Every structure is written in C-alpha cells, then in structure tokens.
Amino acid sequence: MGTSLLRTLVVICLTTLPFLSEAQNSGSGASGGDLSIGPIPSTKTYPAGTQSPIPGAPPLPAVSIDSNQYPPLDKIPPTDSEVVKAWLSKIDLSKAPTSKPTGLNGCSNTTFNADAIAKAGPEGNCWWSCAGCTRSTDITTCPSKGTLGASFDDGPSEFTPTVLQYLAENKLKATFFIVGSRAISLPDVLRAEYMAGHQLCLHTWSHPSLTSLTNEQIVAEFAWSLKAFKDILGMVPNCARPPYSDIDDRVRYIMNAMGLKTILWTRTSTTNFDTNDWKVVDGINPASTSIQAFQGFLTAATTLQTGFIVLTHDLFSQTVALSTKHFLPTALKTPGMKVQSISDCLGQSPGASYFETAGTAGGAASGGTAAGGTAAGGTAPGGTAPAGNSTSGQNGTGKSGSTSPATNQPGSPAKPKDSGASRTKVFLWQSALFLVIILVLV
C-alpha cells in the first residue's frame, strides 16, 4: 500500500479518535453546554428503624432485596402473580372504559390507532399523547404564578446523588417519579431521596406506554412498583405519572381505582414544558437546544396565570448536568421565580403523598385523599396485601438503568434511551480504526 495512503489513514484515525472519546465521555450531542458532573457523591445509608421525616410515618424497614422475588427488570410484569391478583380482586374492571389498547407508534399509526386518534379529544377517550387532553383530576400545573414544580423521571440512577447534593446545597425540594424496577436496584438511593424530604411518586415498573397495555398489565405495572416502595421504605405513594404522560380515560380509571393521583406536566397550546433532555443523550440535539428551551419556559411562564411543572430526568449524567448546571441555576436567578416540589407547590404536607399518612396529613388540598376516595383511611386500598411482602418468584434479572422495551408514542415525550448503546458504538468505531492501522502496517 502506498505511503501517502498509509499517512492518510493514520491522520484520519488520530484526528477522529479524540472526538469519539469525547462523545463517549460527555454524551453525543453535548455541545453548547457544560455537561460534566464530577465525582458522584456517596449515598448516605439509613439503617432499619431510622425515623421517617414524615410525621406519623413508620420507621424505615430492614431491606434485603432479592431480585428473584420480583419480575424481570424493565419488563412488563406478568399478570398471574399473587401480588397482581391481590390488586385485581379489589378493582372492578368491568366498569373501565372499553377502549382497546393502542398500537405501536401511537398517533403516527393512523391505521391501527385510527379509532383512538379520532376519539382522542375531551368528548372521547381524552388521550393526552395525541390530543393533549386532560381531565380535572390530572395535575398539570402549580397553582401560584411564578412557581416551578421541579420533577425528575426514570430514576433512581447512579447519577441521582448528584441531583440530591445540588438540591440540598440550594435548600430545594423536588418530585421524583420512580421506576419500580430501578428502585429495587438502588434501594439506598431511594431511601436517601425519601429521607431528604423529597416527594416520591410512581412511574410504573418498566416504563411502558400505558395506553398500549391491557387493563391487567396496567394494574401489574403499578402493583409491583407499590410493592417495591413498601419493601424499601415501608411507605406507599399515592401519586403517579404515566410514562410519556401517555394516558387516556381507561388508564385514568385504573389509576383512580388503585387510589393514585395523576401528575403530568404543563403543556399549553404554544409550549410543552418538556426539556427533551434525553435527546442530548441520544445525540439528537445539542445541549444548547434544551438549555434554550428551558429559557423559553421561563419566558412563557410570564404569560400564564398559574405556575408550571417541568419534565427532566435523573437517569443519565448528561440530563443530570443539564438540570444542576443549567436549568435549576437559571430558574433560581430569575427574579420572582420559586422552585418547589409539586406537593409543595400544591400546598400539600409531605405526608399527603403517601397512603399511610394521607388521611392525617394537614394541608392535603388538591385532592387531599387518594383519588377515588379509596385510600382516605391512610392505608393502601384493600389493606396491606396488595403492597405487602408476598412474592411470586418471578426470577428477575437485569441492570438498573437499562431501557424499557416500550416504543415511544409519537407526539409525546420519549423515554431516554440507554447511553450504553452509544458507548458500545464508540468502542466499536475505535476498535475498527485501530484494526485498520494494524492491517495497513502489516
């Protein structure tokens, strides 16, 4: 092979590898903002018997998580377990709306989902993903103008402690929507969030589009998340956010029957208060796009008569960096802006977000009892069985932070994909380039 060609190949390899390495370390599409987060803070652990910060709540239980006693991580749970059967025995699904599960690709699947799309408005099934439709029971804003309800989806993750440290340093509280299968992978992080006084709500077991599931599968998604909370905290949240905010009246009925209050985020005719921070991880957008979008939220908020709820994620280092180095600092520097957890912005006490303490918590306005009134007594509907310690030996395996198999509903915010796939691609490219050099030299 000619010397000039050899030199060209070597130059290509040497000039390309630094950029690939940077993409691997910082996340593809990370230009336009500092996305380094430094060393991850250690997570404080709390022994069994530690008193809860919530008045009237039980002390923390002993935790010994055996993944074999749960469904596989990030997979839709089976519906024939004792945990799910206990919940199904408490719910009258015969009265649920009869709309059939939606198909893949949501609103863009105009063939299979034609009927659901046609009925997506308030006179029909009120499908948020396709029509932005909400019901009066959906929490979508903070009542007071100039109030930002800070919310983080899809954790806990290895990067969540960085968020907790930032919030503590700035004396802030936030709302975390927890994926159940990740909670059992990082129980100490979940306990740290709880003990720091943040609001914790459900985000299903495996992060699917709920409208695409059967009634029984929807119950299973929440039932196993409730069990995970009970096992780790001894407390069960009565609030939840459907993944992608993918909800219709059938999903609402089941959530209401399980005593769960629905929390979405703010979406107006002109602004969707979703940072799309996950697109930075995937390399779809540079960081500057999300940063500019957030600045646009603050501008749009001046035209609202209420406060607003913003969607971010604590699943990846890049999304955590966007929140802790850009979004929240910008909000705190904005005159008149107040950053709060969603429960705080609603005027609720910390205990109002849990079945065990909701019945006695003061300031539990905006639905001070669990949705549907089934849990106003302060315990999970049907007693402790649905959220208790019975197990079914589901032979669970997996890794925290792996992605949900569900396909995102077009027109709704996408589930952050696993950055591990991007790292694998980078590694393969690096290996291929080195192999080219070796072959040429030989």
**Which of 198, 203, 313, 326 is labelled catalytic?**
313
- Concatenate the DSSP letters of all residues of 17-56 into one string: HHHHHHHHHH-BT-TTS-----SPPPPPP--TTPPPSSTT
* Cβ neighbours around 433 below 10 Å, total: 18
How, if at all, do strands 147-155 and 338-340 pair? parallel
Residue 103 has which token pair? 């198909």
Q: Is residue 151 within a helix (H) or strand (E), and if so which, with residue range?
A: strand 147-155
- Concatenate the DSSP letters of all residues of 357-378 into one string: HHTT-TT--SSSS-GGGTTTTS
C-alpha dist (Å) from residue 238 to 129, 303, 355 = 23, 32, 6
The answer to whether the peptide bond before residue 156 is cis (omega within 30 degrees of 0) is yes
Q: Does residue 153 have an active-site annotation? A: yes
DSSP state of 327: I
CB distance 182 to 190 below 8 Å: no
Within 8 A by CB and 6+ apart from 273, the residues are 265, 266, 267, 297, 300, 308, 309, 310, 311
Residue 409 has which token pair? 């509903």
CA 439 to CA 46: how far, in whole Å?
55
Q: What are phi and psi of 2, to 5 degrees?
A: -65, 150
Residue 216's closest CA among 323, 58, 101, 56? 101
* Burial of 299: CB neighbours in 10 Å, binned 0-12, 13-18, 19+: exposed
**Which of 74, 153, 274, 418 is labelled catalytic?**
153
Long-range contacts of 295-303 (CB under 8 A, 24+ apart): 295/330, 296/271, 297/271, 297/273, 298/330, 298/331, 298/334, 298/337, 300/268, 300/270, 300/271, 300/273, 301/145, 301/146, 301/148, 301/337
In this structure, which amino acid lies at residue 378? G
Residues with catalytic annotation? 153, 313
